[in-house]
Amino acid sequence: MITKAEQILQIPSILRELSFHYLHNKEDSSFHFVVVIEQVLADLFPDLITKLQDASITSIKLPNQQQLKSVSTFEDLAETLLSKDLKKDSVIVAIGGGSLTDLVGFTASVLLRGVAWISIPTTFLGMIDASLGGKTGLDTKFGKNLIGSFHMPKTTIICSEFLSTLDPLEIESGYGELIKYALLSKEIEEQIKAKSPISDMIHAAAQYKLKVVKKDFLDSDERRFLNLGHTLGHAFEIYFNLRHGTAVLWGLYWEHYIMDQPLVASKVLDLAAILGISLTPNIDITEFKDFWKYVVHDKKIAASKVLELPLMNDNGQPIKFKIALNDFYKKLDSHAKKLLA
Ligand SMILES: NC(=O)c1ccc[n+]([C@@H]2O[C@H](COP(=O)([O-])OP(=O)(O)OC[C@H]3O[C@@H](n4cnc5c(N)ncnc54)[C@H](O)[C@@H]3O)[C@@H](O)[C@H]2O)c1
Ligand SMILES: [Zn+2]
């Protein structure tokens, strides 16, 4: 479910209303909420912290210098939450970007064998993707999101006012995921072409994602197409240290290009250009073996020797494309070399 907040300072009162709705607790609603917020946001929006305090809601501020989606941050957060007397009927509220909502969602899924949570995304990418749909995750040195769970937030409160303080490069990163949706949904493609207001695009993308998640929560069929561009995207993200959505944009282009879907690949470039991004993805991979291990991080893929790539074909149909790992390796290797030459 999506709840809209016009302004950031409405959030404490919305939480209170939600507690009546979900927890059927008319007396002491604030007691049940523990907010986990990025320190940078607490600094940017001090009035929000004051309002939460006024509503007797505890806030835990996570310093931004540490890797949010790591096992060690998870351990610290879990212990801090337990020290705040977290109970089975508490609700953890995550306020932050996709990294924070992935961390907090995961923590909520395992603490006390599962506590309810609410996500409040503060980045564009979080509003259209990461905070919705209940996939949670931590990164490890072996790859991204290799520890994780499915744990749906009770609701996602979207307040686009948070975007006012966001670095433009983070908006650009969110556009990567938006273009993914545009390949899947004509409505979103048209919105981009019509240069619709960002709040309309957020709404359409969030609704689209929830529709897919409702049909396939456990990611066994249709939800896989929300991973368009992510096989190479995740590898680009780690290898080149790119923002997630930026890496997905590269992934969308390269997966379709090397799998011989040139019309889709050029649509990616055209939509990026409308959004003001000139995409010159240079896959200058000097250590190809290093890069490859991020593509084949999944033991199941390595064992089956076949990669299943969700793609759009040039006729606009979603397809799950099976390709032998060896063949994919050769295709990718030849492009990496071509660009290096
Ligand atoms: N669970 C999912 O379904 C899913 C889907 C897509 C992406 N993700 C994950 O999301 C993560 C990326 O999330 P992201 O793009 O939101 O980046 P992020 O969470 O890393 O945030 C980017 C930066 O913006 C800052 N920030 C956040 N909100 C701000 C605001 N309002 N004003 C100023 N600064 C702000 C953060 O402190 C951080 O420095 C990746 O780890 C990715 O794997 C998860
Ligand atoms: Zn993504």
In this predicted structure, the answer to whether residue 31 has a pLDDT above a threshold of 70 is no
pLDDT above 90: percentage of residues in the chain: 68
Ligand 1 close to Cβ of residue 189 (< 6 A): no
pLDDT of residue 281: 60
CA 17 to chain CA mean position, Å: 27
pLDDT of residue 341: 45
Residue nearest to atom 26 of ligand 1 (CA): 97
What CATH architecture does domain 2-165 belong to?
A: 3-Layer(aba) Sandwich (3.40)
DSSP 150: E
In this predicted structure, the answer to whether residue 19 has a pLDDT above a threshold of 90 is no
Task: Specify whether the CB–CB gap between 209 and 2 falls below 8 A.
Answer: no
Confidence of residue 142 (pLDDT cuts 50, 70, 90): confident
Q: Are strands 91-96 and 33-38 parallel, antiparallel or unpaired?
A: parallel
Ligand 1 close to Cβ of residue 230 (< 6 A): no
Instruction: Choose the residue to mutate in 138, 170, 210 for probing ligand 1, maximizing ligand atoms within 8 Å of C-beta.
Output: 170
**231 Cα to the center of ligand 1, angstroms:** 19
Confidence of residue 28 (pLDDT cuts 50, 70, 90): low
**Closest ligand 1 atom to the C-alpha of 165?**
32
Confidence of residue 299 (pLDDT cuts 50, 70, 90): low
Q: What is the pLDDT of residues 178-207, one digit of tens each?
A: 999 999 999 999 999 999 999 999 999 999
Identify the residue with better confidence: 213 or 281: 213
pLDDT of residue 340: 47
Nearest to 171 by CA among 249, 103, 266: 249
Task: Specify whether the CB–CB gap between 54 and 94 falls below 8 A.
Answer: no
In this predicted structure, the answer to whether residue 256 has a pLDDT above a threshold of 70 is yes
Confidence of residue 18 (pLDDT cuts 50, 70, 90): confident
Provide the token pair at 304. 């089956």
- Alpha helices, DSSP H, located in 96-197: 98-110, 124-125, 168-184, 186-193
What is the residue extent of each domain of the chain? Answer: 2-165, 168-340
Ligand 1 close to Cβ of residue 153 (< 6 A): no
Of 98-102, 120-124, 155-159, 293-297, least confident by mean pLDDT is: 293-297
Which residues are registered as beta bridge partners of 140? 143
Domain 168-340, CATH number (from 3.40.710.10, 1.20.1090.10, 3.20.20.70, 3.60.20.10)? 1.20.1090.10
Confidence of residue 270 (pLDDT cuts 50, 70, 90): very high
In this predicted structure, the answer to whether residue 61 has a pLDDT above a threshold of 90 is yes
pLDDT of residue 300: 67
